[in-house]
Amino acid sequence: MKQHWLDIQSFLTDQRVLAAIDDLAIATKFELAGIDDPERKELAQRAREELSRFLRRLGEAAAAADDGKIMGIDPRFKELLDAYRFARRDRGSFHSSLMRVGADAAISLLGARDKRTQRDLLESLDELRRIVEGHQRADVSAILEEI
């Protein structure tokens, strides 16, 4: 039962991250199109906060793993971390700033204001979405196996 609960928690965490990615991506696309939507801006601000926490945690864990000093980490988050680290090495499939400079440095993209940086943000969000969705599929499979 404990592993089942961890799988469910991981799924819910992934879902929050995916929702934040969607909210920020939509708000950024609206802004690029010149659409002023106060509600979307508020959602984007909350998304920035959620993604900042997530990217900071991911960046810290990646640095610890690179130094060989990762301990006491949730096994499901470790699998997500491994997928992220693999994606960073896969330059043929992943080319965004998030993958080039890492999660910690990509946090600054969350506040992108100029069009070039906003497009870079959208590319980074798209690649992050691919990684999190892949991880979430594993969570769903594990959860459904337990039923």
In this structure, how many other beta carbons lie within 10 angstroms of the beta carbon of residue 129? 15
- Whether 95 contacts 12, CB under 8 Å: no
Query: Which domains occur in the chain, in start order?
Result: 2-145 (1.20.120)
For the stretch 66-90, pLDDT in tens is: 888 887 788 889 999 999 999 999 9
At 86 the three-state DSSP class reads: helix
SS3 content of the chain, % helix, strand, coil (to 5): 80, 0, 20
Question: Which pLDDT belongs to residue 146?
Answer: 65
Question: Which pLDDT belongs to residue 70?
Answer: 80
Measured CA distances, 112 to 29, 88, 108, 117, 124 (Å):
12, 22, 7, 6, 12
1 pLDDT higher than 70: no
User: pTM for this structure?
Assistant: 0.91
For residues 137-146, one letter each, b for 16 or more C-beta atoms within 10 angstroms of the residue's C-beta and e for the rest, the string is ebbeebeeee
For the stretch 23-77, pLDDT in tens is: 999 999 999 999 999 999 999 999 999 999 999 999 999 999 988 888 778 888 9
For the stretch 97-116, pLDDT in tens is: 999 999 988 899 999 999 99
Question: Which pLDDT belongs to residue 138?
Answer: 83
